[in-house]
Amino acid sequence: MNKTANAFVVLLLALCQTGQAHRPVFSEKAATDPNTAVFISEPSVSQVIYRAISAEARQVWLAFDANERFELFIQIGVPVLDRLKDFRPAMMVVGPGLPEGTSGVDLPGESGAKCFPTDGVKNPRFFHEHFTGTDSWILRSETVVLPGSGRYYLVAFVPSGQEGKLWLSVGKKEVFGLADWSKFGQWKRRIGKFHEIVEDGRGPRIPVLSEIGALLRSVGAMRSRSRRPDPEATPVRVQEGVKIHTVETEYQNGRQEIRVLLPDSYSEDKSYRVLYVLPVEKGFDRKYGYGLGVLKKMDAHNRYDIIIVQMGFEKEPWFGDHATDSKTRQASYLKEFVVPFIEERYSTPGTPEGRLLFGFSKSGWGAFSLILKYPEFYGYAASWDAPMFLDRFHYSMAEVYGTAERLNAYRPDLLVSRKKTYFQKKTRLVVTGERGWGKSVPTPNGGSHTSEIHTLLEDQGVKHVYDNGLNVPHRWDERWMAPTLKALIELTEPVRAPGTALSPEKPTSQAPSPSPPSTATTTTPPPTTPRWSTTITSRNRPATSGKSACQRPLGRLFGTRMTSRSASRVMIPWSES
């Protein structure tokens, strides 16, 4: 009896400490339309369904209820099988408040839909799942902020009409019941069969103990990988307190560096926002200074308790994807590789709330371009003295975009009107300063880029923080960085576990609103006091407190369910390590 109890404890601790497992959903329901959809009672909990697409079952439908501003994490992939290497299913979120659907899928009632195709994915991410010994190609991962409250659906379908297999997952929060250990053997066999894994035929086993042993071996294998995002190790060294990872990816030519500055008190038991410092030069050239270095001297990582990341680029960074050159995809490099790379190695929320963009000049353009193009992925952005109205190629832009059409897809001035609804309820943007980009390239109305983007944002009803008085040298400089970063941090919400609903915004009309001062008659304030153009309610962010499930007394683990510690990481069935 003692041995059995010990096995329980070891297994529970293993699940708790790895915290990287989706709960498989096996249902007899057809799940081919809204009426036969498989209902997910807790969409914040990580769950995955495995289905075959055939002439009789063209779609897979999951149903769930959610509140307004709920952050829904979704993911789609296929087993690694030769016949599926070109199989590209799409996923779609259906429900109230979403745009009118145009995918050809019949929608229930007055629901709208947002579609996420994968037909453009040429090199899907390979993933080996240790618990079940299966291999998958991950085609797409997205976080969708739901615009309303009510019944929503997650749908998988194949636009091309091909037949094949896919898995579809929701949620990131790992929750396990005490009986789950006994289901592991059954789960493993069914998932292995779906992936067409051949049994090894190693003879008879004692059912319960052998499944525990298999799970613990899987746990050990996973932990030994240290949450790597791909099967290959990446070199890392430490220089002056900064971790330097060297990587090579499909998005750029050659090897690049990702530099990481952690708070001195960094702990895996907390979640930290990440400030992505966007460079203005290729590699880590320093003609205009070194952004991460200045922030380190400012002690910003400790003052705001944040992780600071700066990445290198092979070409001059303009933060777009080239129209034809697959090795020049700067936007995808940051979104599809750098952010997952950081979130899989370090303790972060793994949601838009924890992803902050920071830049000036061309990287200020990049910060606004990226958040406006991907408003459901990035949370906040700040820009100082940046060009915002470039309707043709300047400097090295042609090398990054390739065509004028591709440039238009990333222009902040065009994206504002297209994506304004994402920024009208909550303040997520900071725009400051004018120096080098005062009027060096003409704007539509002849003003500075900073003042004109402010006017455009106001005209479109986009909430933002604005201060055009930070007039200092055009380089990484504490005199503009300190007040701009302070304004950015003050916009953020308290760190939440991924998948939890955000509280509804309180009407800002109830709070006193300072009138924006006139730049013609008001003396420029010190750099540490930005002038607000909209009402901003500063939120006191309480320090993360309490013990994780893994730190609580063992007696508390033996309840109706167990919540894993690592709810802050992006997980794939079962894990993305």
- pLDDT tens for each residue of 499-524: 333 333 333 333 323 333 333 323 33
CA 36 distance to own-chain centroid:
31
Q: Which residue has the higher pLDDT, 3 or 28?
A: 28
Mean pLDDT calculated for residue range 278-288? 92
> Given CA atoms 566, 572, 573, 577 in this order, what sign does their dihedral have?
negative
Distance, CA of 47 to CA of 192 (rounded, Å) = 17
Q: What are 408's two structure tokens?
A: 């238009």
Mean pLDDT calculated for residue range 373-388? 93
Q: CATH 3.40.50.1820 region(s) of the chain? A: 236-498
**Cβ contact 339:348 at 8 Å:** no
What pLDDT score does 41 carry? 87
303-322 residue pLDDT tens:
999 999 999 999 999 999 99
Q: Which residue has the higher pLDDT, 97 or 554?
A: 97
> Does the pLDDT at position 150 exceed 60?
yes
477-505 residue pLDDT tens:
999 999 999 999 999 976 544 333 333 33
Among 192-201, 363-372, 407-416, the least confident range: 192-201
What pLDDT score does 259 carry? 96
Instruction: State the angle between helix axes of 2-18 and 180-194 in degrees (0 to 180), rounded to the nearest 10.
Output: 60
Within 13 A of 534's CA, how many CA atoms are on the CB side? 25
> Given CA atoms 564, 570, 574, 577 in this order, what sign does their dihedral have?
negative
> Does the pLDDT at position 390 exceed 50?
yes
Q: CATH 2.60.120.380 region(s) of the chain? A: 2-224+550-563
7-20 residue pLDDT tens:
444 444 444 444 44
Interior/surface letters 139-175, b for 16+ CB within 10 angstroms, e for the rest: bbbbbbbbbebebbbbbbbbeeeeebbbbbbbbbbbb
What pLDDT score does 525 carry? 36
pTM of the model: 0.54
185-244 residue pLDDT tens:
778 888 889 988 765 444 434 344 444 444 444 444 444 333 444 434 567 899 999 999
What pLDDT score does 110 carry? 81
58-83 residue pLDDT tens:
999 999 999 988 999 999 999 999 89
> Does the pLDDT at position 177 exceed 90?
no
Instruction: State the angle between helix axes of 180-194 and 207-224 in degrees (0 to 180), rounded to the nearest 10.
Output: 70
> Does the pLDDT at position 577 exceed 70?
no
> Does the pLDDT at position 357 exceed 50?
yes
**Cβ contact 25:32 at 8 Å:** no
Among 53-57, 88-92, 394-398, the least confident range: 394-398
Mean pLDDT calculated for residue range 531-553? 33
What pLDDT score does 485 carry? 97
Location of structure tokens 């909990």: 45
Alpha helices in 125-274 (DSSP H): 180-194, 207-224
What pLDDT score does 517 carry? 32
3-state secondary structure labels for all residues of 217-244: HHHHHHHHCCCCCCCCCCCEEEECCEEE
Three-class SS state of 431: strand
Hey, what long-range contacts does 220-226 have (CB within 8 A, 24 or more apart)? 221/130, 222/18, 222/20, 222/130, 222/131, 222/575, 222/577, 223/17, 223/18, 225/130, 225/577, 226/345, 226/577
Q: What are 366's two structure tokens?
A: 């990049």
Mean pLDDT calculated for residue range 542-567? 30
> Does the pLDDT at position 567 exceed 90?
no
> Does the pLDDT at position 561 exceed 60?
no
Instruction: State the angle between helix axes of 2-18 and 207-224 in degrees (0 to 180), rounded to the nearest 10.
Output: 30
Mean per-residue pLDDT over the chain, rounded: 77
Location of structure tokens 């995918």: 103
**Cβ contact 134:103 at 8 Å:** no
What pLDDT score does 559 carry? 28
89-110 residue pLDDT tens:
999 999 998 987 666 788 888 8
CATH of domain 2-224+550-563: 2.60.120.380
- One of 3.10.129.10, 3.40.640.10, 3.40.50.720, 3.40.50.1820 is the CATH number of 236-498, namely 3.40.50.1820
Residue 52 corresponds to which amino acid?
A: A
**H helix count then E strand count, the chain:** 13, 22
